[in-house]
Structure formats: structure tokens, C-alpha cells
Chain A
């Protein structure tokens, strides 16, 4: 059982380029999430999806977009990358989007925008 996989593991990207971070889960979880982690700021929620076909904005959504065409995949797209988007990105999933539920996290993608 893989759980949650993310790709790529790391990436160096020129500013202005488009980039899609991939996230796939095999647990048939309804809810999925994207976080970014920056030193001293903990994890901040970018976007979430309660179920396939729906998405919502988190705490820091600007500059990012997501889609949820099916249960398993939740890609995060940076349409035109900027250096402030240099961060470690974590994808997560949970069986339901409500409280009392554990979130499972992927291994992360380290993105550097130059």
C-alpha cells in the first residue's frame, strides 16, 4: 500500500514557468489537501477538496490552482511561478473533511523558483 505519492521529489524552476505538482492517493479518501511549509511558518493550507469534483481555497491560495477530476488525483498548478513560491509542498488526504479524522501526508515536493 503506497498511501500518498507526490511527484516530483524536487524541482528547480525558472520564474514565469508553469509547473504542476502531482499527488495521488490509493486509500479512496474523499478529502485531499495541499499545504506549503516555510521556515518559521509551519504548514499553511493552499487548497482543499472535500470530494471529487469540488475544490476550495485555503489560507494562501493566490498563484495556485487545483483540480479534482477523480478520487485519487489532486494536482496543484503554478501558472506562472514566482520566487516567493519556493517552498516544500505537502499533499494530504483524509477519509472525510470533518474533525476527528486523521490526515495522511505525502513525502513532499521541494520546489525552488529562481
Chain B
């Protein structure tokens, strides 16, 4: 599975969009990009995933570049409750035993 690179931390003002980048330059054609987040002391929470096309759900949008080597998670209107560690994960189609979370990005949403 491709490994991912994310900034260690980011700040965002409350009410503004939070854009979290992820680099996955070694991604292969059948690997999905997932985003999870973990609020302090809780279990990870699924946010969104995609393969090639941009995706949007009630929580966020996922923008994947055309070459699929990087992606951006967008929280359109960040709130204080969005403060968490955000994990970008790349996972192969049948690699069920390989789901590397890495260290993630600590997003600090400030008033």
C-alpha cells in the first residue's frame, strides 16, 4: 500500500474552511483514499473516501488530483468540535490487513 505524508498540525479559524492536504505519490490504480478523524480519547471516525473522482458528503469534501498523487480534505465551515487529528489513509482493494493510519494532522480550530 502507498504511504501518505501529512503536515503535523494546522490551524483554522472557526467558521472558515479547513483544507487538509495529503501526499500519496506512490498510490496505485486500485487504491482508495480514506479520511478518518480522531477526537481526543475517542475512537477514529470515518469521514469520507474516494478512488478517482471528487466526493462530497454531509461532513466534508474530498478533492483528488488528476494524477491521484495528492488529495485535500475540505471541511467547509469548521467548528470548534472539528478540532481533532485527521488521518489520510491509502488502502488497496484487497489488502484488508493493511490499513496504515500514520501520525495524521492535528487540526486546531480556534474561535
> Residues on A close to B: CB < 8 A?
4, 31, 33, 35, 40-45, 48, 50, 56-59, 90, 92, 97-100, 102-108
> Residues on B close to A: CB < 8 A?
30-32, 36, 41-46, 49, 51, 87, 91-104
The reply to whether A42 and B43 form a contact with Cβ atoms under 8 Å apart is no
Q: Which residues of A contact B51 (CB under 8 A)?
A: 100
The reply to whether A56 and B97 form a contact with Cβ atoms under 8 Å apart is yes
The reply to whether B46 and A99 form a contact with Cβ atoms under 8 Å apart is no
| A62 CB to nearest B CB, Å | 15
Q: Which residues of B contact A40 (CB under 8 A)?
A: 103
Q: Which of B31, B41, B97, B102 contacts A45 (CB 8 A)?
A: B97
The reply to whether A57 and B46 form a contact with Cβ atoms under 8 Å apart is no
A57 to B96, CA, bound (A): 11
The reply to whether B31 and A41 form a contact with Cβ atoms under 8 Å apart is no
Q: Which residues of B contact A100 (CB under 8 A)?
A: 32, 49, 51, 93
Q: Which residues of A contact B97 (CB under 8 A)?
A: 45, 48, 56-59
The reply to whether A99 and B42 form a contact with Cβ atoms under 8 Å apart is no
Q: Which chain B residue has the least Cβ–Cβ distance from A101?
A: B49
| B59 CB to nearest A CB, Å | 12
A94 to B93, CA, bound (A): 14
| B89 CB to nearest A CB, Å | 9
Task: Add 12 more A-B contacts to A92-B44, A103-B44, A105-B44 (CB < 8 A).
Answer: A40-B103, A42-B87, A43-B101, A56-B97, A58-B97, A97-B96, A98-B94, A100-B93, A102-B46, A104-B46, A108-B41, A108-B42
| B29 CB to nearest A CB, Å | 12
Q: A41-B103, A42-B104, A100-B32 are in contact. Are A48 and B44 (CB under 8 A)?
A: no
The reply to whether B45 and A105 form a contact with Cβ atoms under 8 Å apart is yes
The reply to whether A108 and B43 form a contact with Cβ atoms under 8 Å apart is yes
Q: Which chain A residue has the least Cβ–Cβ distance from B42?
A: A107
The reply to whether B43 and A105 form a contact with Cβ atoms under 8 Å apart is yes
Count chain A CB atoms within 10 A of each CB in B93, B95, B101 and give the residue with the most: B101
A90 to B100, CA, bound (A): 14
